Structure 1
């Protein structure tokens, strides 16, 4: 059996996007990795967690790197340098390239990252210059040690949201810390959206883990875990966003 330093695991829904990702990956230098493609073009999986658990079982790397296929690298050593920073952390639960700290800004969660996103490569959030502790990391690119995943595999919650966030919460409960490192990476997507499924599973996360946290910060929004607002705020935010989208459509 071949043993690699890193196992890169990505879920492919569209072959053309995956091939573009693979071409960019093949130009990366100085990284010992295997690439594990999860083919989901026929909706073979109903959950990111199930797909990632299946792929992780087959992985030979010391580190499991879960990343979206619309990730692109801004120079030929981007991946090497990002993963070296993560591997240099003495001990961690989950590490990534974008995340939300424990503290709040004007009672809201915020993003710390150096990546750019969207077609115009815009920077969002607060820039960082060094490895930074966060409460949760973004799903677009995150890393676990293989032996830690064996202790803490993904749960069986259905759907395609909160899988990295949940792992971060579980790691904190397990007395570990989560981190974000500076990275020269482009996420072509503009990020997550608060659709109905996102709201539903977010409420499940609050119900499951809310007793451990005063609030749950994500790169999308803050989730209250106490009081009446934990029930009302998510659907209020969702309704407000839908109204804004409707109005924007007819401007």
Structure 2
């Protein structure tokens, strides 16, 4: 059995996207854990997901966003990848640092126009990567019981990136798999809090890695460099919104 875990804040989106598409799933046993973030005083995504994950009984915990639309074989396909691979965390969109460049991989589509999330959508998986998109994350129950999401900062950003860093440091694989689904969000989730969160994450991991790989680029952990980059990106965000 697998556990479907979603911390949500919009009943309409949850019902029309995730819940409705869950009813289409075939040949898979699952439980659902839905936590309304409006009813709890969570300070971060990490706190919320740790709370929800501790309620799970499944062999694999699937953390996903409220605006995910699954096709009828999505869960069974993910489960097959789980059973045939050893890993610390798995996702459907990810990126790796490759010869000085960040290369992303994903078969999913996003936004109302269903655009490909990555130009590298026709890949054979699973592939080992450095980071994963948080729209859908899979963690084996035994791994989650040993390693929780770290509440390093009051933010709803980068909890997946932090978990990937944690897995890399304990020699657990980070996998991206070619599973199709529709993430109705455009993926444009940046805000000013993101830059404060990445600085806090850089401080947390400065002695373990020189660069933090994200779907929004690479971020140095050197104190001077990360502060300069975040200062520039905050100005750019205020001016251009990116």
* TM-score of the pair, normalised by structure 2: 0.92
Aligned residues: 238
Q: Structure 1: which 5+ runs fail to align?
A: 247-251
Equivalent position SS for 1:49: helix
Q: Give the aligned partner of residue 249 of structure 1.
A: none
Provide the C-alpha distance between the structure 2 equivalents of 1:59 and 1:47, rounded to a whole number of angstroms: 19
Tell whether the 8 Å contact from 2:92 to 2:137 is kept in structure 1 after alignment.
Answer: yes
Provide the C-alpha distance between the structure 2 equivalents of 1:64 and 1:86, rounded to a whole number of angstroms: 11
- Aligned-residue offset at 1:72: 0.6
**1:227 and 1:108, CA in 2 relative to 1: closer, same or farther beyond 3 A?**
farther
Q: Deviations over 1:48-67 (max 9, x none)?
A: 11111111111110111000
- Aligned-residue offset at 1:172: 0.7
Counterpart pick for 1:221 among 197, 214, 217: 217
- Aligned-residue offset at 1:79: 2.1
Aligned residues: CA RMSD: 1.7
Tell whether the 8 Å contact from 1:194 to 1:238 is kept in structure 2 after alignment.
Answer: no
Counterpart pick for 2:201 among 202, 205, 220: 205
Q: Give the aligned partner of residue 66 of structure 1.
A: 63
Provide the C-alpha distance between the structure 2 equivalents of 1:214 and 1:192, rounded to a whole number of angstroms: 26
Equivalent position SS for 1:111: strand
Counterpart pick for 2:104 among 96, 108, 111: 111
Whether 2:73 is the aligned partner of 1:77: answer: yes
What stretches of structure 1 move > 6 A for 4+ residues in a row? none
Provide the C-alpha distance between the structure 1 equivalents of 2:225 and 2:178, rounded to a whole number of angstroms: 34
Q: Give the aligned partner of residue 32 of structure 2.
A: 35
Tell whether the 8 Å contact from 2:97 to 2:103 is kept in structure 1 after alignment.
Answer: no
Alignment of 1:121-160 (within 5 A): 121-125=114-118, 126-127=120-121, 128-157=123-152, 158-160=154-156
Tell whether the 8 Å contact from 2:212 to 2:218 is kept in structure 1 after alignment.
Answer: yes
Provide the C-alpha distance between the structure 2 equivalents of 1:237 and 1:82, rounded to a whole number of angstroms: 36
Equivalent position SS for 1:34: strand
- Aligned-residue offset at 1:23: 1.1
Provide the C-alpha distance between the structure 1 equivalents of 2:199 and 2:174, rounded to a whole number of angstroms: 22
* TM-score of the pair, normalised by structure 1: 0.89
